[in-house]
């Protein structure tokens, strides 16, 4: 069971206390990953698990922890909370705003799910092709003029992190991108996410590399809320998703790039991201022995495809061991 209110003032912040390239070919040298397509993403990415008993006593002074800190975490910012008790177990630079890449799509999905009517059919707009090409974005190859249900597009967007699915949904629910982005920012304001700003529905560098940003504290709160919606949580735990061909559209098959799903037992989601400015980012949740831990890492090194997942695994190992020993 989740903590009913994830809302304490900690360090001056209102916060929630409490694999592989998928479904399409990516252009060589792809700079922006709406989840996965990255020039170094070749084959499976193994996550090195750090012994849960390890403790790094050199953590920076701004970190919050209850007993030591996880060892070897390279992310610039991050946080880990117990989703049941609301206790903050570890954090690093929780006030720092940073680009978040495709974690942006968590808010996109939340706005759409709250609006409802997920069984309606939406037409893929013609503009999506140029949009994807302009940013060399990760895409599922949606064909303009074809129709998918909103639920199908949510699956494609969240599992594969497809920018063409995000564009199609935002265009329909705005209506138009400008209208939809306004709704994203309005929801962020309603939730008290004061360190968050959206300028795209997908985390692409529009209009700049850093114009969409958030903080670790805000993202943990956002992730906590999103995971309370069954429509969301049932999607982000999936390794793969397929839509068979119909008279309305071609077949689409996508695979999640969240390495934790394949390598870390108990992982139940939730969203990856990558851009050159953001580095690797990951909002994650895992369950072990009835305990649920929710966390985020931002700014993990760009030199390794699974660097965010490696950081998350170290933090989770430490967090679960901490709880077990406590």
| 102 or 303: which leads in pLDDT | 102
Q: Which of 49-58, 121-130, 201-210 has the lowest mean pLDDT?
A: 49-58
Clarify whether 200 is annotated catalytic: no
Whole-angstrom distance, CA of residue 194 vs CA of residue 215: 9
Clarify whether 134 is annotated catalytic: no
Q: What angle do CA 216, 89, 49 make, to 5 degrees?
A: 90
Q: Are strands 240-243 and 252-255 parallel, antiparallel or unpaired?
A: antiparallel
Whole-angstrom distance, CA of residue 123 vs CA of residue 164: 12
> 160 near 154, Cβ under 8 Å?
no
> 111 near 30, Cβ under 8 Å?
no
Mean pLDDT of 232-256: 97
User: What does the DSSP assignment read for 299-320?
Assistant: EE-TTSTTHHHHHHHHHHHHHH
Phi and psi at residue 60, to the nearest 5°: -65, 160
Name the CATH topology of 22-52+96-269.
Answer: Beta-lactamase (3.40.710)
H helices present in the chain, as ranges? 104-115, 127-135, 150-160, 163-173, 177-190, 216-226, 230-236, 259-263, 307-325
Check residue 322 and give its pLDDT.
Answer: 86
Identify the active-site residue in 74, 91, 161, 214.
161
Q: How many CB atoms lie within 10 A of CB 197?
A: 17
Taking 50 as the threshold, does the pLDDT of residue 172 lie above it? yes
pLDDT-based confidence at residue 14 (cuts at 50, 70, 90) = very low
Q: What angle do CA 111, 117, 119 make, to 5 degrees?
A: 120
279: which strand partners?
Answer: 275
Q: Are strands 240-243 and 213-214 parallel, antiparallel or unpaired?
A: unpaired
Q: Considering only CA atoms, which of 326, 271, 279 is closest in space to residue 295?
A: 271
Fill in the DSSP letter of residue 161. -
Whole-angstrom distance, CA of residue 77 vs CA of residue 215: 8
Phi and psi at residue 218, to the nearest 5°: -65, -40
Q: Which of 19-23, 154-158, 162-166, 211-215 has the lowest mean pLDDT?
A: 19-23
Clarify whether 11 is annotated catalytic: no
Whole-angstrom distance, CA of residue 244 vs CA of residue 263: 28
Check residue 323 and give its pLDDT.
Answer: 64
User: pTM of the prediction?
Assistant: 0.83
Check residue 26 and give its pLDDT.
Answer: 26
Average pLDDT taken over every residue of the chain: 83
Mean pLDDT of 19-43: 30
Mean pLDDT of 166-189: 98
Check residue 4 and give its pLDDT.
Answer: 52
Taking 70 as the threshold, does the pLDDT of residue 135 lie above it? yes
Phi and psi at residue 239, to the nearest 5°: -80, -40
Enter the tokens of residue 293. 């831990």
> 12 near 273, Cβ under 8 Å?
no
Mean pLDDT of 41-46: 32
Identify the active-site residue in 44, 63, 76, 102.
102
Q: What angle do CA 51, 48, 22 make, to 5 degrees?
A: 145
Whole-angstrom distance, CA of residue 230 vs CA of residue 214: 24
Whole-angstrom distance, CA of residue 77 vs CA of residue 87: 18
Identify the active-site residue in 74, 105, 183, 271.
105
Whole-angstrom distance, CA of residue 186 vs CA of residue 92: 27
């Amino acid at each position: 069971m989740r903590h009913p209110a994830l809302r304490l003032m900690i360090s001056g912040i209102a916060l929630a206390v409490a694999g592989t390239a998928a479904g399409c070919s990516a252009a060589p040298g792809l700079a922006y990953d709406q989840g996965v397509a990255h020039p170094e993403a070749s084959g499976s990415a193994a996550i090195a698990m750090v012994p849960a008993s390890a403790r790094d006593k050199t953590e920076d002074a701004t970190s919050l922890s209850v007993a030591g800190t996880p060892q070897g975490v390279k992310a610039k910012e991050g946080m880990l909370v117990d989703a049941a008790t609301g206790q903050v177990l570890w954090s690093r630079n929780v006030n720092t705003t940073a680009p978040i890449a495709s974690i942006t799509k968590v808010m996109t999905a939340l706005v759409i799910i709250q609006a409802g009517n997920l069984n309606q059919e939406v037409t893929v707009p013609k503009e999506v092709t140029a949009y994807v090409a302009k940013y060399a974005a990760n895409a599922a190859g949606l064909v303009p003029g074809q129709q998918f249900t909103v639920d199908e597009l949510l699956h494609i967007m969240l599992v594969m992190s497809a920018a063409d699915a995000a564009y199609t949904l935002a265009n329909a629910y705005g209506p138009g991108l400008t209208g939809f982005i306004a709704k994203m920012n309005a929801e962020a304001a309603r939730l008290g996410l004061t360190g968050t700003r959206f300028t795209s529905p997908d985390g692409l560098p529009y209009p700049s590399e850093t114009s969409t940003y958030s903080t670790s504290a805000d993202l943990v709160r956002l992730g906590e809320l999103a995971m309370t919606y069954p429509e969301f949580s049932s999607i982000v735990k999936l390794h793969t998703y397929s839509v068979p061909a119909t008279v309305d559209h071609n077949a689409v098959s996508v695979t999640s790039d969240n390495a934790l799903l394949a390598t870390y037992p108990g992982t139940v989601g939730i969203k990856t991201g990558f851009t050159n400015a953001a580095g690797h980012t990951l909002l994650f949740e895992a369950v072990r022995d009835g305990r649920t831990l929710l966390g985020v890492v931002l700014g993990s090194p760009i030199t390794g495809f699974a660097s965010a997942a490696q950081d998350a695994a170290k933090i989770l190992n430490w967090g679960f061991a901490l709880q077990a020993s406590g």
